[in-house]
Amino acid sequence: MNDSNIDQMLRRKPPTIEVPASLETKIRARVRAEVAPSPTVRWQWIVLPAAAVLMLVALLRNEGDHPTPPELVQTTTPTELPTAEVTETVEDLPLVARNPLSSEARALRRDAERTGRFLINCLPSLTQAE
């Protein structure tokens, strides 16, 4: 065996480590605190099952209640319906009012043109092959 100077010195005089007397009690107290359940957990184990039982009772109680059929309401029907006068013609209305989807169609057309230009600019090999 090859013993170095440090090994020989440690064998001759082993080091003594002084441990404070309260160290063991501190360690035991910390272990007990981590193992013991906290008081908040205890009340949750009591409250949660009670809340679950109350929910079940409420659901079962409401299950038996069925809604009553709606009653028919007698209304008088007017003999003459009011008519609104239209003073504007179709040509006077803006394009959006005539066709609500016109702005969407314009936007789609514009997007298609931009996409086509983008592809032509980014892929010059396709334009040269033609």
**What confidence tens digit (pLDDT) does each residue in 5-16 have?**
888 888 888 778
Local confidence band at 71 (pLDDT 50, 70, 90 cut-offs): confident
Contacts of 119 (CB under 8 A, 6+ apart): 126
pTM of the model as a whole? 0.25
**How high does pLDDT run on average in the chain?**
76
- pLDDT at 111 exceeding the cut of 90: yes
Whole-number Å distance between alpha carbons of 44 and 50 = 10
